[in-house]
């Protein structure tokens, strides 16, 4: 049994689905179901007893302590977070509350539980913290990619709050001996990605005939990883990572945002051409840049490959094609997210809890 936090979000739900597709070890999925949490992502697990969904806050010490003592998981994988940079600029408070205070409360509950385990269970236990490359700050165009020893220089309230959570996780290892692992991953893309993020936003807006907003000059460079590759990296770190270590996870695929948008447009031109036959790229609209927008992130994923033998299975070309196809085939999911139908469903189904 493992406990996952934030397993109804983008990466967490992909992780839960992959985990249960590959083995029968049950998952307790603790999720607060913020705007980013969506049980529709997990609809295929309905009635599956290996998936125990709990609607709640990772910052609720009593709830988490109760779940840990009741289910006795051998590991906790922490995905739960406020994750959208733009939202962190407009309202940083939630990011501090969830990513910093929430992670702290979770660690406290886990520390209490772990301290009470017998020696063998204590040694086998793992707390895996899922984090981001954004904690390392922005890179100059010719600078080498981020390694695990790159110093932390977070520039947005989001990355600062994630950096704080990474430091707390580190401190719980060094101070209390908690067997932690941390992964810092680059930008993910793939199925179930909330359409406020770049790639799904482009696919959805293109289809709706709306402008495709690109920040500034569109030359901000990111590394991109197909979400299922991130999930396989987390599984690998969980099974073989060295306690106390940090692993950078990336796709070896640095690309400017504008190029990503043009690739998405090209795929849509091929798979779902516009009725008037014009290219989707004509819908691109440059908009005022985000304040403090980092120019470049790049991940050096050598360590996880050398020490744990992990490499991404998808290239950007194969992964982005799968992603665009998924969105075209799952218009109902997109509509549910946009119309708020799943939130109504949630209110009806969870009203009594
Ligand atoms: P997401 O916003 O899609 O999902 C976050 C999930 O956490 C949601 O289901 C939400 O309901 C839940 N949640 C929020 N606050 C909670 C709380 N207090 N208690 C329990 N659940 C709570 O995020 P994502 O893109 O899936 O990212 C997951 C993790 O991976 C985050 O920690 C993020 O920092 C990290 N990460 C994301 C990316 C990326 O490209 N998306 C890249 C690297 C790292």
- Atom nearest to 189 CA in ligand 1: 40
CATH code of domain 2-288+296-350: 3.40.50.720
Count of CB atoms within 10 A of residue 239's CB?
A: 10
The residue annotated as part of the active site, out of 31, 57, 82, 133, is 133
Cα–Cα distance measured from residue 29 to residue 52, given in angstroms and rounded to the nearest whole number = 6
Active site (annotated) includes residue 133: yes
The residue annotated as part of the active site, out of 57, 134, 229, 294, is 134
Q: What is the pLDDT, as a whole number, of residue 27?
A: 98
Atom 29 of ligand 1, nearest CA residue: 79
The preferred substitution site among 6, 35, 98, 237 for testing ligand 1, maximizing ligand atoms within 8 Å of CB, is 6
Q: What is the pLDDT, as a whole number, of residue 353?
A: 33
Q: How far is the CA of 142 from the centre of ligand 1 (A)?
A: 31
Q: What is the 3-state secondary structure (H, E, C) of the chain?
A: CEEEECCCCHHHHHHHHHHHHHCCCCEEEEECCCCCCCHHHHHHHCCCCCEEEEECCCCCHHHHHHHHHHHCCCEEEECCCCCCHHHHHHCCHHHHHHHHHHHHHHHHHHHHHHHCCCHHHHHHCEEEEEEEHHHHCCCCCCCCCECCCCCCCCCCHHHHHHHHHHHHHHHHHHHHCCCEEEEEECEEECCCCCCCCHHHHHHHHHHHCCCEEEECCCCCEEEEEEHHHHHHHHHHHHHHCCCCCEEEECCCCEEEHHHHHHHHHHHHHHHCCCCCCCCHHHHEEEECCCCCCCCECCECCHHHHHHHCCCCCCCHHHHHHHHHHHHHHCHHHHHHHHHCHHHHHHHHHHCCC
Q: What is the pLDDT, as a whole number, of residue 227?
A: 98
The residue annotated as part of the active site, out of 158, 172, 247, 297, is 158
**Ligand 1 touching residue 130 (CB < 6 A):** yes
Q: How far is the CA of 80 from the centre of ligand 1 (A)?
A: 4
DSSP β-bridge partners for residue 183 = 130, 247
Q: How far is the CA of 211 from the centre of ligand 1 (A)?
A: 27
The preferred substitution site among 81, 169, 294, 304 for testing ligand 1, maximizing ligand atoms within 8 Å of CB, is 81
**Ligand 1 touching residue 182 (CB < 6 A):** no
**Ligand 1 touching residue 59 (CB < 6 A):** yes
Q: Digits of tens for pLDDT over the chain (353 positions)?
A: 999 999 999 999 999 999 999 999 999 999 999 999 999 999 999 999 999 999 999 999 999 999 999 999 999 999 999 998 888 999 999 999 999 999 999 999 999 999 999 999 999 999 999 999 999 999 999 999 999 999 999 999 999 999 999 999 999 999 999 999 999 999 999 999 998 889 999 999 999 999 999 999 999 999 999 999 999 999 999 999 999 999 999 999 999 999 999 999 999 999 999 999 999 999 999 999 888 888 999 999 999 999 999 999 999 999 999 999 999 999 999 998 887 766 665 556 544 33
Active site (annotated) includes residue 158: yes
Active site (annotated) includes residue 49: no
Specify whether the CB–CB gap between 205 and 23 falls below 8 A: no
- Atom nearest to 78 CA in ligand 1: 32
Q: How far is the CA of 155 from the centre of ligand 1 (A)?
A: 19
Atom 43 of ligand 1, nearest CA residue: 132
Q: Give the start-to-end residue ranges of the domains of the chain.
A: 2-288+296-350
């Amino acid at each position: 049994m493992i406990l996952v936090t934030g397993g109804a979000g983008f990466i967490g739900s992909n992780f839960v689905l992959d985990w249960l597709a590959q083995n029968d070890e049950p998952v307790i999925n603790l999720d607060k179901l913020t705007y980013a949490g969506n049980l529709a992502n997990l609809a295929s697990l309905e009635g599956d007893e290996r998936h125990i969904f709990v609607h709640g806050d990772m910052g609720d010490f009593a709830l988490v302590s109760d779940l840990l003592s009741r289910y006795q998981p051998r590991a906790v994988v922490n995905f739960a977070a406020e994750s959208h940079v733009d939202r962190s600029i407009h309202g940083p408070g939630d990011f501090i509350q969830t990513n910093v205070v929430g992670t702290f409360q979770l660690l406290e509950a886990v520390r209490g539980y772990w301290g009470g385990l017998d020696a063998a269970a204590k040694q086998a236990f793992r707390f895996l913290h899922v984090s981001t490359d954004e904690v390392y700050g922005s890179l100059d165009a010719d600078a080498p990619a981020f390694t695990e020893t790159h110093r932390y220089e977070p520039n947005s309230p989001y990355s600062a709050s994630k950096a704080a959570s990474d430091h707390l996780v580190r401190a719980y290892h060094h101070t209390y001996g908690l067997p932690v692992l941390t992964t810092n991953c680059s930008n993910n893309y793939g199925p179930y990605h909330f359409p406020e993020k770049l790639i799904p936003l482009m696919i959805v807006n293109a289809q709706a005939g709306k402008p495709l907003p690109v920040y500034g000059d569109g030359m901000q460079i990111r590394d991109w990883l197909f979400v299922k590759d991130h999930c396989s990296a987390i599984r690998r770190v969980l099974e073989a990572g060295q306690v106390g270590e940090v692993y950078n996870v990336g796709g070896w695929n640095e690309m400017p945002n504008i190029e990503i948008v043009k690739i998405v447009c090209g795929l849509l031109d091929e798979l779902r051409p516009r009725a008037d036959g014009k290219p989707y790229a004509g819908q691109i609209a440059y908009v005022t840049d985000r304040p403090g927008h980092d120019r470049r992130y790049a991940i050096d994923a050598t360590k996880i490959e050398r020490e744990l033998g992990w490499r991404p299975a998808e290239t950007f070309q194969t992964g982005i094609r799968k992603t665009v196809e998924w969105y075209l085939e799952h218009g109902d999911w997109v509509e549910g997210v946009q119309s708020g139908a799943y939130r109504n469903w949630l209110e009806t189904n969870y009203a009594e809890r």
